[in-house]
Amino acid sequence: MLKKPLTAVILIALIISGSYYYLTEESLEEVYINHVIDGDTIRIANGESVRFIGIDTPEIDWDNNEAEYYGWEARDYLQQKIQAKNVRLKYDQEKEDHYGRLLAYVYLNGLHLNQVLLENGYATLMIVEPNNKYETEFKKAAEEARRAQKGLWNKVEEFSSKLPLLDYQTAQLFIGEKVIVEGEIVNTAKTDAVTYLNFSDDYHNTLSIVIFNRNLNKFAYEPDQYLKDKRIRVLGTIEIYQSAPQIIVSDPHYIMVEY
Contact 188, 200 (CB under 8 A): no
Reply yes or no on whether 59 is catalytic. Answer: yes
> Are 178 and 155 within 8 A, CB to CB?
no
| Catalytic residue chosen out of the listed positions 25, 43, 48, 101 | 101
| Other C-beta atoms lying within 10 Å of the C-beta of residue 55 | 26
Cβ–Cβ under 8 Å, residues 82 and 35 = no
Is 101 labeled as catalytic in the residue annotation?
yes
In the chain, the N- to C-terminal Cα span, in Å, equals 62
Dist. CA 131–CA 152, nearest whole Å: 24
Catalytic residues: 51, 59, 101
